[in-house]
Chains A and B, each alone.
Chain A
Amino acid sequence: MVKKTVTVKNEAGLHARPSSVLVKTASKFNSDFYISMYGYKVNGKSILGVMTLAAECGAEMELIFEGDDEQEALTTISELFENKFERN
């Protein structure tokens, strides 16, 4: 299992579009993925779970991965947070 704390950097927070990008990317990995924030823990592959966190800009959350590609998943997902979920 690998963990990392990240910060939501895009100004509007984890609204519908970033959530959809996050979930889509996470679903490409085999590893289980959970997001923990303010004591809530949601499945990172569940868009409804991610959206209901209503994470605003500046919110900190812990990403937890477990599975055969956990390291790779962690790197890719952290980059998404770092790049503010921007389209390429």
Chain B
Amino acid sequence: MVDRIEFEGVPASGGIGIGKTHILEERQDDISPEKIQEEEIQFHVDKCNRAFRKIKEEFIKLKDGTDGEVADIIDAQIESLKDPELYKKILEKIESERYEAEYAIYSTLNEYIHIMENADAEWLNERTIDLMAIRDQLIDAARNRELGGQLEPGSVVFATNVSPTTMIELSRNSIAALVMQKGGLTTHAVILAQSLDIPCVIGVEWKIRRFKNSEEVIVDGEQGLVVVRPLDSEKKKYQKRRKEKEEEAVKFLQVVKKPSETACGKKFKLQANVEFLEELPRVKTHGADGVGLLRTETILFQKTGFDVASQLDFYRKVVDASGDSDVTIRLFDAGGDKLLDDSETEANPFLGWRGIRMLLDKSELLNNQLEAIYKLSGEFKNRIKLLVPMVSCVSEVYRLKEKINEVKEKLNKEDVEFDPNLPVGVMIEVPSVAIMADKIAKEVDFFSIGTNDLTQYTLAVDRGNEKISSLYQPYHPAIWKLIQMTAGGAKKSGIPVTVCGEMASKPKAAACLLGLGIENLSMTTGALPVVKSLLCSQSLKDMRKLSGQVLDANSPEEVIALMDSFGE
């Protein structure tokens, strides 16, 4: 009797995967510097040419139907395969040094990988995984081995790390789940897994236990659990859970089609928070009414370029994916620590030079983004809004408006069309602006409450500090009071309020927000169906009652208890 093996990891993409193990082989171990005879040279040159041709064709096929960053990544892969220097070096190793094709490919690519790994530029370090993918695929092709050839549909793939291109290929083979030893929650492979609904667990030390290919395995993408050779009872339990999930998905689809209104007919609006192009298909499938928060930091940090043209390109794709609905673009919300050329570190980056504070000092960055957003507003009439992060004082709004006027003048001179009345709103995430909401409301067109930062700034609790993580309480009555003040201040001037923080994605908290008169909620696409389902099933009267009780509560625990019993 073989033993059950259980691994724990970090849940990265939800869902239950049940299938057979498939270990993605690593080639480092079995490639040695084998020498060849003179008469074998041609054979190895041919083998090398065949491998290049095959992988190039595969990438060209893979590129079909992709766009944005994924297409850029694949494009760079194709160019690498066409690289004349790479090819020359490999050929030299075969013809002059008389190494077999596999080793020539392996060692030449490793030279480049080594340079990239040790480069100072972070973006170049990140490219190594793609180059490793090319290396391994070329060697497989030279050996006539195929990734997809042995990969049965329904396999659970175990890998060290997976490149974005391999991930796309795996998904086309209908894998049941992915288990990785490395990788982070924001890596491309994980984001792709999420958008393709492939369960994924990362940070799993699967190599320390022995198991073979084609063994039974269960992956729980919600709990971060991986079980090889599961017990029969476990298998039954998970088969049942998977069936329930499938039924839930069908139910969700029905919810998505329903109109957004409470049981008593009060309308509300649910939008999507978006950061990556890969997430865009979910805006429609999960029933979002446009994009309530488009994060733009990724354009900056993934270095796809933040010149006006690249930004416009990115924004257009987001607007196109949003049907006829509106898109709220938040200006770069980043700390100064992340900017390439400013390496001074701050003692308290969260209380430091970030968001609008940094943008007002970085005119090129700000002007470029404003120009891109205003140009976009000319192309998509009445559908674009601009959101300003980290405002703590009304004078920042005045200064930003001066900058906006400069951009408008420039566009006027260039005879470029734009929306002169583009709505400009501010993030409410610093307590000072929540308290001053009635004054600031007179200067802006809308508010958007970022509950995560509002919580950490109000409670003086660093979200990332594990020692005090229990003190990070988004349901603290103080936060609800600040939200109430914000909603009240907005109402006086008749401007709309959105909540775009994590709070909006919790169904019962969302009900409480609606009770406070906040009718616009923006959240991660995955949460849209559950939130909508609850909001549609309750009456506004009960939601108001809940919010009244919450505002009257003494402690976060009391608020949580009130939420728990709501609607039961």
| Chain A residues packing against B (C-beta within 8 Å) | 10-13, 15-20, 23-24, 27, 42-43, 45-49, 51-52, 54, 56-57, 84-88
Contact = CB atoms under 8 A, between A and B. Distances in A.
B76 A17 contact: yes
Nearest to A84: B307
B115 interface: yes
A20 B121 contact: no
B303 A47 contact: no
7 contacts: A27-B82, A43-B84, A46-B84, A51-B116, A51-B127, A56-B121, A86-B308
Interface string B67-110: 00000110110011011111000000000000000000000000
Interface string B350-388: 000000000000001100000000000000000000000
B476 to A, nearest CB: 40
Contacts of A45: 84
Contact of A54 (B80, B120, B306, B341): B120
A43 B304 contact: no
Contacts of A51: 116, 124, 127
Contacts of A48: 80, 83, 85-86, 112, 131
Contacts of A87: 309-310, 313
B398 interface: no
Nearest to A43: B85
Contacts of B303: 12-13, 15
A13 B83 contact: no
Given A16-B76, A56-B121, A46 B306 contact: no
A74 to B, nearest CB: 19
Contact of A52 (B112, B307, B313): B112
A17 B119 CA distance: 18
A11 B307 contact: yes
B73 A16 contact: yes
A29 to B, nearest CB: 13
B121 A17 contact: no
Given A17-B72, A17-B76, A51-B127, A86 B84 contact: no
B79 A24 contact: yes
A4 to B, nearest CB: 22
Contacts of B365: 11
Contacts of A27: 82
B85 A11 contact: no
Given A48-B112, A51-B127, A56-B121, A17 B304 contact: yes
A10 B305 contact: yes
A20 to B, nearest CB: 5
A23 B79 CA distance: 8
Nearest to B309: A86
Contacts of B304: 12, 17
Pick the 6 closest A-B CB pairs, nearest first.
A86-B309, A46-B85, A12-B303, A54-B121, A47-B79, A16-B76
B306 A11 contact: yes
Nearest to A58: B341
Nearest to B307: A84
Contacts of B80: 47-48
B340 interface: yes
B20 to A, nearest CB: 36
Nearest to B115: A52
Interface residues of B, number: 34
Interface of B: 72-73, 75-76, 79-80, 82-86, 112, 115-116, 119-121, 123-124, 127, 131, 303-310, 313, 340-341, 364-365
B123 A46 contact: no
Nearest to B86: A48
Contacts of B310: 86-87
B537 to A, nearest CB: 47
A20 B72 contact: yes
B121 A13 contact: yes
A54 B124 contact: yes
A12 B365 CA distance: 12
Contacts of B124: 15, 51-52, 54
A11 B305 contact: yes
A64 to B, nearest CB: 15
Contact of A56 (B85, B86, B340): B340
A31 to B, nearest CB: 14
A15 B72 CA distance: 11
A18 B75 CA distance: 11
Nearest to B73: A16
Contacts of B127: 16, 51
A13 B86 CA distance: 23
Contacts of A42: 85
Nearest to B339: A11
Given A15-B303, A87-B309, A49 B123 contact: no
A87 B311 CA distance: 11
A43 B82 CA distance: 13
Nearest to B72: A17
A21 B309 CA distance: 15
B83 A47 contact: yes
Contacts of A24: 79
Contacts of A18: 305
A27 B82 CA distance: 10
Contacts of A49: 83, 85
Contact of B306 (A12, A20, A52, A88): A12
A84 B83 CA distance: 22
Contacts of A56: 121, 340-341
Given A10-B305, A11-B307, A86-B310, A52 B72 contact: no
A16 B120 contact: no
A57 B308 CA distance: 16
Nearest to B85: A46
A52 B83 contact: no
A85 to B, nearest CB: 8
A19 B305 CA distance: 12
A78 B522 CA distance: 45
